[in-house]
Structure 1
Amino acid sequence: MTNDQPQTVAILGAGAWGTVLANLASANGHRVHLWSRGGSDSLEAVLQDAQIILSAISMKGVANVVTQVKSFDIAPQTIFVTATKGLDPQTTLTPSQIWQTAFPHHAVVVLSGPNLSQEIQQELPAATVVASSVPTAAEFVQQVFSSSRFRVYTNPDPVGVELGGTLKNVIAIASGVCDGLHLGTNAKAGLVTRGLTEMVRIGKFWGAKPETFYGLSGLGDLLATCNSPLSRNYQVGYQLAGGKTLAEILAHLPGTAEGVNTCRVLLQKARQQNIPVPITEQVYRLLEGEVTPQRALDELMLRDIKPEYN
């Protein structure tokens, strides 16, 4: 499969992220078909002759859409790309694991990075990562989406790249709380750094390479999401610190804050495997209304003292 001619790209999910990715591929001269549940085009028509099928739907819709796609005749050389950041609440699987289970003989590529869709839509420069166990598939997707404003890197660790983008959403909620309580730069730096340590700890259990979390899809995405009011997860934390209830916040939030669901699934998994995740634990308790933002902070600060790398 070569990439020196226009490719057909099917993008599932016409939200902000799906639309931005569609525009990037289209600007590179590729034929792009965008599908959404409420759209006029059928899923089968959109998938017709697609060399790349990219999923940018929210986590709650992934399993259902995978089942629908599986009912169609998909060419063996078609590459699946997942750009969803989350964990399935029923199975605790990542999006790529759901796609790969349904299509075991197809290449699956994870696309993730510090990519606030609003900034990319404004054509501000950004970088991302595409990762796959099939290097040629990652390189093919890299070519389709790379541009002078959107730099795409490849990576051989799809699990780490996917988890980086998923786990940082929980830390972003905590970061929003930190800013909402006006705790200062020192507190924020400490929180984000320890949050990264937590992400690495969980990632190692899942089989990810620790160094992946220090790249664009881990540290890069963490910095972007923890420092921008454009981040929905950051907004959840910030508004919780301001005294709003989670139900109030989610009712007025444009799009999905994946960190809310991720936090619940992640804590369940961490408790099963006895993985210490103190920040995730306090974010969960805050989301459930069990503690106030100030109480969550106090409990983190008053934990037993310990070595840093432990």
Structure 2
Amino acid sequence: MNITVLGSGSWGSALAYLLADNSHKVRLWSFRKEEAESIIANKENKEFLPGVPLPENVEVFWDKKEALFNAELVVNAVPSKFVRSTMESFKGLMPEKISIVNVSKGLEDGSLKRLSEVIKEVYPEAAVAVLSGPSHAEEVSRRLPTTVVASSSDLALAEMVQDVFMNKEFRVYTNTDIIGVELGGALKNVIALAAGISDGMGFGDNTKAALMTRGIKEISQLGAAMGAEINTFFGLSGIGDLIVTCTSMHSRNRRAGILLGQGKSLEETLKEIHMVVEGVNTSNAAYELSLRYNVPMPITAEINNVLNHGKSPVLAVEELMTRNKKQEHNSEDTIGGRLIWQ
């Protein structure tokens, strides 16, 4: 196929290389002309994927019209806060009924919409799917075995995405629960920030295990309230993505959390990471969704307080640990007739 990848960061570039391995003709678009020119000149993305050569069947563009030339499939890999503006900037160039695969993980602040909803608002006639799961760009670009999920409410579209991306190093499952797949991918970044803060403060494995376990509880409970299937959160795009993001130093969310836990300001942290930290962009939207759906999410609430309201991580941990006593499970705690963790 002729495939256009929007976003030449680490993830967009890694997926462009993967698609090239699968014999597709790939056009990789960068919003910065100097970045596009650097990748072309160096035959690698020195800023985000140093040491990984640019495949011959990946062309790099800054011009929007050239980037979309003959596109049969578009992959959106721009950060969540730029998805709407980027999609709108391609209006008049994007074929109305194009298939778009969103691979960014986050929520739109303000509207609180999932990114597939944002894309669908801009292009109502487009067929929209998502690709998510435990997948660091650094490992995918080096062809290390990785497994993810292609999701759409239209199973045929999810299966098409599966066929396009899957190879011997990149296994793709399908899932029609697009709400759950997107929420799992977005909300795990907030919990990964908490795990990083824990590491930065010098806490141990016990603390991280608690954060991950109670974190997936928060994610799944909100997901159920929003109409997602509980089982999705115990698969690749839920607990799988949570594990890799909370434990790996490839995770910019965990690395950002470590710096915050060591006492650095948010501004200092983001400057040092030098890449988009999606959990920072998502934390407020996640907290607002918890209020909208009346779902208690204490870890998410405290991370939002630390990031957006200047709360001390030390105080946040103390208040999490000294909340009112409760049972881990409660048989009467259900949403829509389904048992949810207490």
| TM-score tier (shorter) | over 0.9
**What is the distance in 1 between the residues matched to 2:246 and 2:205?**
12
Of residues 43, 49, 70, the one that matches 1:49 is: 70
Alignment of 1:1-310 (within 5 A): 7-39=1-33, 40-72=61-93, 74=95, 76=97, 78-288=98-308, 290-309=310-329, 310=342
TM-score under structure 2 length normalisation: 0.85
- Equivalent-residue separation in structure 2 for 1:188 and 1:132 (angstroms): 32
The Cα offsets for residues 27-52 of structure 1, whole Å up to 9 and x where unpaired, read as: 11001001111135421222222111
Deviations 1:87-135 (A, max 9, x none): 1113111110011122223221111110111111222111111100111
Amino acid at match of 1:68: S
Q: CA deviation at 1:202?
A: 1.2
Partner deviation per Cα, 1:241-263 (whole Å, 9 max, x = no partner): 11111110111213100101200
Unmatched runs of 5 consecutive residues or more in structure 1? 1-6
Cα distance in structure 2, aligned partners of 1:258 and 1:206 = 21
| 1-structure distance, mates of 2:94, 2:258 | 46
Whether contact under 8 Å (2:181, 2:232) holds in the other structure is: yes
Give the root-mean-square deviation of aligned CA atoms.
1.4
TM-score by length of 1: 0.94
Unpaired stretches in structure 2, ≥5 consecutive residues:
34-60, 330-341
* Residue identity matched to 1:283: I
Give 3-state SS (helix, strand or coil) of 1:255's partner. coil
Secondary structure of the residue aligned to 2:186 is helix
**How far apart in 1 are the matches of 2:111 and 2:66?**
30
Contact (CA 8 Å) 2:151, 2:177: kept in 1 or not? yes
Give me the whole-angstrom Cα distance separating, in 2, the residues matched to 1:108 and 1:175.
Answer: 32
In the TM superposition, what is the alpha-carbon distance from 1:75 to its structure 2 partner? 5.4
Aligned to 1:70, the other structure's residue is in SS state coil
Q: Give the Cα separation in 2 of the matches to 1:173 and 1:75.
A: 38
Write the letter of the residue equivalent to 1:27: D
Q: What is the one-letter code of the residue matched to 1:38? A: R
Letter in 1 for 2:83: V
Distance in 2 between the 1:41 and 1:268 partners?
36
User: Helix, strand or coil: the match of 2:209?
Assistant: helix
1-side partners of 2:292 and 2:165: how far apart? 39
Deviation, structure 1 residue 187: 1.6
Tell me the distance in 2 between the aligned counterparts of 1:118 and 1:194: 28
Higher mean displacement: 12-21 or 203-212: 203-212
1:40-97, CA deviations, whole angstroms, 9 ceiling, x for partnerless residues?
5421222222111010001121111111223225053x31100111111131111100
**Alpha carbons 2:15, 2:141 under 8 Å: kept:** no
Residues 31, 62 of structure 2: 8 Å contact kept: no
* Secondary structure of the corresponding residue to residue 256 of structure 1: coil
- Give 4+ residue runs of structure 1 displaced > 3 Å after superposition: none
Aligned-residue sequence identity (percent) comes to 40
Instruction: Report the number of matched residues.
Output: 303
